[in-house]
Structure 1
Amino acid sequence: MEKTNTTTSGFISQLPKNIFSGFVVSLIALPLGLGLALASEAPPISGIIAAVAGGIIVSIFGGSNVTITGPGNGLVVVLLGAITTLANGDVFQGYLFTLAAIICSGALMIIIGQLRLGILSDYFPSSAIQGMLAAIGISIFAKQFHVMLANTSIKGDTISLLASIPDSILVLFNPEYRAVAIAALVGIISFLIMVFYGKIRNKYFQLVPAPMWIVLLAIGLSYYYEIFSSQPYPIDTSLLVQMPDDVFSNFPSPDFSLLFDLKFISVVLAITLISSIESLLSIKAVDKLDTVKRRSNVNKDLTALGIASIVSGFIGGLNVVTVIARSSVNVNNGGTNRTSNFFHSIFLILFVVLFQDQLRRIPLTALAAILVYTGYKLAAPRNLKDVAKIGKEQLLIFFATIIATITTNLITGILIGILATIIIHFILNKSVMFFARNLFKPNVLMFKEEINGNYFVSVKNFSNFMNYSQLKRRLDTIPETQDAIIDFSLCDFVDYTVQESLIGYQETFKRKGGSFEITGLDIHGTSSEHPLAVRSLIPFSKKIKISATSNFTKRQVDLQHIASNFSWQYDPKKNIDISSVQDFVFFKTKKINYINNSIYDTQSIFKISDIEFSEGEFIARTLVRTTVLTINLKVEIPKFTLDKEGLLEFVYKFAGFKDINIQGHPDFSKRFYLLGEHPEQIRSFFKDELVLFFESNPYYHIECNGIYLLVMRKERLASIKEIKALLDYGTRLEKVISSIQSNEIVLKSPKIKS
Structure 2
Amino acid sequence: MFKTIKNDLPASIVVFFVALPLCLGIALASGAPLFSGLIAGIIGGIVVGGLSGSKIGVSGPAAGLAAIVLTAIGTLGGYENFLVAVVLGGIIQILFGILKAGVIGYYFPSSVIKGMLTGIGIIIILKQIPHFFGYDADPEGDFAFFQVDGENTFSDLYKTLKFITPGSALIGFIGLGILILWEKVLSKKGKIFQLVQGPLVAVVVGIVFYAVTQSNEALSISQSHLVSVPVPEDTASFLGQFSFPNFSAITNPDIWIVAFTIALVASLETLLCVEATDRLDPHKNVTPTNRELLAQGTGNILSGLIGGLPITQVIVRSSANIQSGGVSKMSAIIHGFFLLISVILIPRLLNMIPLSVLAAILLVVGYKLAKPGLFKKMYDLGWKQWIPFNVTVLGIVFIDLLWGIGLGLAVGIVVILLKSYQNSHFLHIEDKSNGKHRISMTLAEEVTFFNKGAILKELDSLPRDTFLEINLLKTRYLDNDIIEILEDFLYKSKERNIDIKLVSKRGIVENPSSFIKFFNERPKSEMSLS
Instruction: Please give the TM-score of this superposition, normalised by the length of structure 1.
Output: 0.48
Task: Tell me the alpha carbon deviations over residues 657-692 of structure 1, each in whole angstroms, 9 at most, x when there is no partner.
Answer: xxxxxxxxxxxxxxxxxxxxxxxxxxxxxxxxxxxx
Query: For the residues of structure 2 that align with 1:258 and 1:187, how far apart are their CA atoms?
Result: 48
Once the two structures are superposed, the pairs formed by residues 191-210 of structure 1 within 5 Å of their partners are 191-200=176-185, 201-203=188-190, 204-210=192-198
136-145 or 78-87, larger mean C-alpha shift: 78-87
Matched with 1:187 is: 172
* Bigger Rg, structure 1 or 2: 1
Match of 2:412 among 414, 421, 428: 421
Amino acid at match of 2:46: I
Give the match for residue 28 of structure 1.
Answer: 14
Amino acid at match of 1:416: L
Deviation at 1:408, TM superposition (A): 4.4
Contiguous gaps of at least 5 residues in structure 1:
1-13, 435-458, 464-488, 494-616, 624-754
Structure 2 counterpart of 1:277: 272
Letter in 2 for 1:127: S
Q: Is 1:321 the equivalent of 2:310? A: no
Corresponding residue number in structure 1 for 2:510 = none
Residues 1:354 and 1:136: Cα distance change in structure 2 (over 3 Å)? same
The structure-2 alpha-carbon separation of the partners of 1:51 and 1:243, relative to structure 1 and needing over 3 Å to count, comes to closer
CA distance in 2, matches of 1:166, 1:324: 26
Deviation at 1:80, TM superposition (A): 3.8
Question: CA separation in 1, counterparts of 2:407 and 2:216?
Answer: 58
2:283 to 284, 288, 293: 288
User: 1:49 aligns to what?
Assistant: 39
Q: Aligned partners of 2:81, 2:175: CA distance in 1, in Å? A: 33
C-alpha RMSD of the superposition: 4.1
In the alignment, what sits opposite 2:137? 153
Q: Would you say the 8 A contact 2:227–2:354 is kept in 1?
A: yes
> How has the CA–CA distance of structure 1 residues 129 and 621 changed in structure 2, closer, same or farther, with 3 Å as cutoff?
same
How far is 1:99 from its partner? 5.7
For 1:140 and 1:100, how far apart are their aligned partners in 2?
Answer: 31
* Cα contact 2:104–2:271 (8 A) shared by 1: no
Of residues 214, 227, 239, the one that matches 2:202 is 214
CA contact (8 A) 1:117 1:299 kept: yes
Aligned to 1:732: none
1:107 aligned partner, one-letter code = I
Matches within 5 A, 1:370-389: 370-389=361-380
1:164 aligns with 2:159: no
Distance in 1 separating the partners of 2:198 and 2:85: 33
- Take 2:282 and 2:129, find their aligned partners in 1: how far apart are those partners? 33
Q: Report the counterpart of residue 702 of structure 1 in structure 2.
A: none
Q: Which has the higher helix share?
A: 2
SS in 1 for 2:502: helix
Cα gap change, 1:251/1:18 in structure 2, threshold over 3 Å: closer, same or farther?
farther
Q: 1:127 aligns to what?
A: 111
| SS of structure 1 residue aligned to 2:114 | helix
1:620 aligns with 2:503: yes
Distance 2:208 2:253 in 1: 44
For the 8 Å contact 1:18–1:343, the answer to whether it is kept is no
**Paired residues for 1:503-652 under 5 Å:** 618-621=501-504
Question: Does 2:380 align with 1:394?
Answer: no
Superposed CA deviations along residues 164-217 of structure 1, whole A, max 9, x for unmatched, are: 355245325xxxx6xx22123223333444445421233323322233222211
Percentage of matched positions with identical amino acids: 27
Distance in 2 separating the partners of 1:356 and 1:340: 22
In the alignment, which of 435, 445, 448 is matched to residue 460 of structure 1? 445
Count of residues in Structure 1 that have an aligned counterpart in Structure 2:
416
The letter for the 1-side match of 2:171 is: V
CA distance in 2, matches of 1:197, 1:316: 39
Match of 1:299 in 2: 290
Partners in 1 of 2:330 and 2:138 — Cα distance? 42
**Which residue of structure 2 lines up, in the alignment, with residue 454 of structure 1?**
none
Which amino acid is the alignment partner of residue 206 of structure 2? Answer: A
Q: 1:100, CA displacement in angstroms?
A: 5.8
Partner of residue 580, structure 1: none
Between the aligned partners of 1:266 and 1:275, the Cα distance in structure 2 is 14
In 2, Cα distance between the equivalents of 1:79 and 1:399?
A: 24
Task: Give the Å deviation of 1:303.
Answer: 0.7
Shift of the 135–149 alpha-carbon distance from structure 1 to 2, 3 Å rule, reads: same
Q: Which residue of 2 aligns with 1:240?
A: 226
Q: Give SS of 2:67's match.
A: helix
- Structure 2: state its 5+ residue gaps: 233-237, 426-443, 449-472, 478-499, 507-530
**What SS does structure 2 have at the residue aligned with 1:430?**
helix
Counterpart CA distance in 2 for 1:402 and 1:329 is 21
Q: CA deviation at 1:124?
A: 0.9
Residues 227 and 353 in structure 2, CA contact (< 8 A), matched pair in contact too: yes
- Contact kept in structure 1, 2:24 and 2:35, CA below 8 Å: no
Query: Paired residue for 1:311, among 302, 320, 344?
Result: 302
- 8 Å Cα contact 1:62/1:304 also seen in 2: yes
Q: 1:55-103 deviations in whole A, cap 9, x for unaligned? A: 3323543334x3353327xx42x23433555567x9xx99778766654
